[in-house]
Amino acid sequence: MVSRLPAAQVLDLAVQRSQMARAARAGAMSAAEMARASGQQPDPMLTFGIDNLPVTGNGRFSTNAEDMTMKRIGIAQEWVSADKRSAREAVSGAMHRRESVMEGVAAADARMQAAMAYIEAYYAGEALKLTALNEKHAREELETGKGRLATLSGNSAEVLGLTSAVGAAEDESADTRQQRAAAVAGLSRWTGEPAEELAAPNLAIAPTSDAFVAAHPLVVAKQRDIDVARQEVEVARLNRKPNWSYEVSYGQRVGRPDLMSFGVSIPLPVAPAARQDRETAAKLALVEKAEADAEEARRAAAGEYAALSSDARRLQERVERFQTAVLEPLKQRTVATLAAYRANQASLVMLFEARHAEVEVQRKLLNLQRDLAKTQAQLVFKPILQGAAQ
């Protein structure tokens, strides 16, 4: 059964089957779970031990020999302020947004790669049709030449030349068939389905330069890096305020009253200029680095758009020029040669050469159209879809 796949279905299948998109979704889910956990207080710590255990004398290592020996159990809790927990949660939220963007990046890459494979497979199929046409022409002229030779109106040199042309056309068809098989296999890598017949690609209108740059995967990813770096600065700034730890313990003694203890541990930032301020300065430097990377990514994306747009215009001009200045005269030449042949004023070899030249130019035109479609596909599918970059 012949499978006919439109381009839109191919792109959907590519995104659904993309393992990179699956990995990005898992990364986004992981970051979302971390964002939920980062706003919580640290787990409390259970403490237990024995105080004043004798280690010498007759009662050494005995918990009942000394009335000062006490079995102790308690619980300790590091208390993180609400603003610190909020800042940590903001960092995790920024990381989640960055990972969510990576899902859009992976989906955009899958769409673009599938579109390029589709275009390659489609135009390989069209090239095969042209080589088959050339082979058909060669066979027709050869059979006619053999018939003319049998009636003494032809010559053996003409038949031998056409026989060689048939062999060359068959080899050319075999080579094109091999190229098409490789292109179809490359497309199946994205769709998971065989595709013996493909609809002509119908690409959407390319975005503007500003839209291309704003939705470029690298630009969007670098912008999310800025968000993460800025949130980490706030966490570093709040780390100047130490976290207090509280502990309550209960002590049991033999023959003496049980005791309860309560304590608070407060870290002392004795040199904030040498430590905490340095950490904040390091995070600020990372913000500057992220901003510089994002600006460089924007410039690279703008340059990429300019190059692709220029290539698309140049290829479009070449396609139009080839159609009017090269292909049309050759079509007229074929018609004129066919008329001359029917009037017995041109040989079969001349007719075949005229037809062959026309087919060859059609193949060159097909290559230009393929290159144009691939360039346009990069302009259309390289950016992240609207909404995925938010």
Radius of gyration of the chain (CA): 38
Residue 3 has pLDDT above 60, yes or no: no
pLDDT category at 8 given cuts 50, 70, 90 is confident
Q: Each residue of 275-314: pLDDT tens digit?
A: 888 989 999 999 999 999 999 999 999 999 999 999 999 9
DSSP for residue 117: H
Q: What pLDDT score does 378 carry? A: 93
Q: What is the mean pLDDT of residues 184-206?
A: 81
Inter-residue contact 173 to 166 (CB < 8 Å):
no
Q: What pLDDT score does 291 carry? A: 95
Buried b (16+ CB within 10 A) or exposed e, 70-92: bbbebeeeeebeeebbebbbbbb
Give the global pTM: 0.78
Q: Tell me the percentage of the chain whose pLDDT exceeds 70.
A: 92
Round to whole Å and give the CA distance between 292 and 151: 82
Inter-residue contact 212 to 305 (CB < 8 Å):
yes
Q: Tell me how far the alpha carbon of residue 55 is from its chain's centroid.
A: 67
Token pair 């940590």 in the structure block, residue: 88
Q: Each residue of 84-100: pLDDT tens digit?
A: 989 988 998 898 888 88
Residue 388 has pLDDT above 70, yes or no: no
Phi/psi of residue 254, nearest 5 degrees: -90, 120
Encoded amino acid at 21, one letter: A
Residue partners of 204: CB distance under 8 A and separation at least 6: 380
pLDDT category at 28 given cuts 50, 70, 90 is confident
Buried b (16+ CB within 10 A) or exposed e, 168-188: ebeebbeebbeebeebbebbe
Residue 208 has pLDDT above 70, yes or no: yes
Residue 1 has pLDDT above 50, yes or no: no
Least reliable range by pLDDT among 71-80, 142-151, 212-221, 341-350: 142-151
Q: What is the mean pLDDT of residues 152-158?
A: 60
Q: What pLDDT score does 296 carry? A: 97
Between CA 31 and CA 37, with CA 36 as vertex, the angle to 5 degrees is 95
Question: For 338, how many CA atoms within 13 A lie in the half-sphere containing its CB?
Answer: 11
DSSP for residue 327: I
Q: Tell me the percentage of the chain whose pLDDT exceeds 90.
A: 39
Q: Each residue of 217-266: pLDDT tens digit?
A: 999 999 999 999 999 999 999 988 889 999 999 998 887 888 899 999 99
